[in-house]
Amino acid sequence: MTRIAYLSPAMPALSETFVYEELLALERTGVAVEPFSVRQPAKPVPAQQALAQRVTHLYAGGPLQVVLSGLTDMPWLLAGWRKAAAWLLADMLQCRPWRLKTWKLAYQFVAAATLAKHLRQRGCTHLHVHFAHVPTQIAMYASAMAGVPFTVMAHANDIFEEGLLLPQKAARAKRMLTISDYNRRYLLSLGIPEQQLAVVRCGVSFAARPPVEHDADGPYKLASLGRMVEKKGFDVLINAVALLRQQGMDVSLSLAGDGPLLADMQALVQRLQLQEHVQFVGSLPHHAVADWMREHHAFVLACKQDSHGDMDGIPVVLMEAMSQGVPVVSTRLSGIPELVVHEQTGLLAEPNDAASLATQIARLISGAAMGHGLVAHAQEHVKQEFGQASNINRLIQQISA
């Protein structure tokens, strides 16, 4: 029987909802899955305690424990160890030995020995890895040690900002998967062969629901959700709301999420005197997101490239809003136009441009018929291209190929 090991940075974490949702969906098809993560999540998902108890955390116990366990588990006399060690030596030379990041590969190599032990003991026939940075650096060495093939799912900052050894990882993997055609073109530009790449979406798990008819009275209610970090563009969205209100439009904004820039966003709201019109609701459990979205007229995600070059791929939260019959506005960035097709399944503004974003939101406010048309096309597009069931089938095909 197929038994797949699943590895991600931190599971089950609020920031990796799409990973554990995919894992659980895969299990519902009858596939046996063994869950692993690099570290314990800083914010575990309370509703996923059963899954949390099954997860093996490779960095548990701290660095000394990781090293001691890894050296004990190291398959010193097996051919797989020699193959993995040759990869490590080549990788360290490629990355230049005087860099700290290079020596972290040696630490990940040691952690890989523990993962390899689990793969052998649990009879895993395949290793699937989410994110092409640290988890894949552990996975590729473990794959060689255990003689178990692996696939990689590449997302966003793991290739744009932390894209270490991507051609080597693709060559060693059975297949490198990624979430968008935009990412696929980027990986091709690095010299990765076309036959090593395939697109598998992070499928939305929410069941489609009809749009809500909102009362005409009161403000036009906008929603946005995400980690409070630069690439989410919450500052751009808040400034766009200020512009709309200056133009006489009765608009309110509800922001869900937490993160390092929360205090900065709250201070911006105060400077713009928007305290009565912008609400911070904090982190939401995944099961509450759909109903919360449907309380609003539209969902806006003002994605942009941050100062380090990081940017979103195709945010699952946009798929979720579209599945719930909520019109969406986002930006022309990365793979987002593959989901939000301008004037067909949503509206797109220019990244990091509050005036452009305000213009597109205003089009929704003044054109109710446009919103209805966008919703109908959006739900069909999400179902056909971004539905969880269809993408689980794509994933199984890639693993089984």
Domains and CATH numbers, the chain: 3-199 (3.40.50.2000), 220-385 (3.40.50.2000)
Provide the Cα torsion 84, 88, 94, 100; round to 10°: 150
Phi and psi of 237, rounded to 5°?
-65, -45
What pLDDT is recorded for position 43?
Answer: 83
CA 295 distance to own-chain centroid: 25
What pLDDT is recorded for position 369?
Answer: 63
Which residues lie closer than 8 Å to 54 by C-beta, 6 or more apart? Answer: 35
- Which of these, 12, 61, 59, 60, lies nearest to 33 by C-alpha position? 12
Tokens of 263: 């205090």
What pLDDT is recorded for position 217?
Answer: 84
Side by side, which strands form the sheet with 3-10?
A: 56-57, 32-39, 3-10, 126-130, 150-154, 175-178, 197-199
What pLDDT is recorded for position 392?
Answer: 95
- Give me the tens of pLDDT residue by residue for the chain, a chain 401 residues long: 589 999 999 999 988 889 999 999 999 999 999 999 999 998 888 889 999 999 999 999 999 999 999 999 998 878 899 999 999 999 999 998 888 888 999 999 999 999 999 999 999 999 999 999 999 999 999 999 999 999 999 999 999 988 999 999 999 999 999 999 999 999 999 999 999 999 999 888 888 899 888 887 889 999 999 999 999 999 999 999 999 999 999 999 999 999 999 999 999 999 999 999 999 999 998 899 999 999 999 999 999 999 998 999 999 999 999 999 999 999 999 999 999 999 999 999 999 999 999 999 999 999 866 778 899 999 999 999 999 999 999 999 999 98
pTM: 0.92
